[in-house]
Structure 1
Amino acid sequence: KIYPMTLKEEEELNAFIDKNLKSGRIYISKSQYAAPCFFIPKTNGSKQLVQNYWKINQYMVKDKMPIPLISEVVN
């Protein structure tokens, strides 16, 4: 699903992508899968960029073993 964005949101998204590509936090993927992104309003008036992984999660392989509790690993 593609979420509609305003021109300003699209500019903010492009700035976010450029900044994070340069810093190495994200990289260009060659994956056949993609997750749509959109902005949600925060209580302070700014916007938070989020991604919808609902469709991609259908293709994920479930863990066969549960993650151990920290108390089990530390002791």
Structure 2
Amino acid sequence: MKLYAIIGTISPGCGELIHLYGIYADRKAAEKRQAKVEAAGRRANEGELEEVGPGYVKIVEVDEGKSVDVYLGGYVE
């Protein structure tokens, strides 16, 4: 069985924050959630919301019950 994790990064000036927005067993549900997170990020980055929204959102696919090492990103100064 495949699992789909929705990962997003937020860059509030200095540094980077990585968020997990959900884990789904259905690819279509994961894509729907990804679209919602991206839309909220666009609104936030246009100044409609006070906080900075995610600038990069992706779906990470993994097999259930298997060990993985997935690079999620990051920022070091």
Scaled by the length of structure 1, the TM-score of the pair is 0.32
Which structure ranks higher in relative contact order (CA pairs < 8 Å, sequence separation ≥ 6)? 2
Q: Which has the higher helix share?
A: 1
Q: Rg: which structure is higher? A: 1
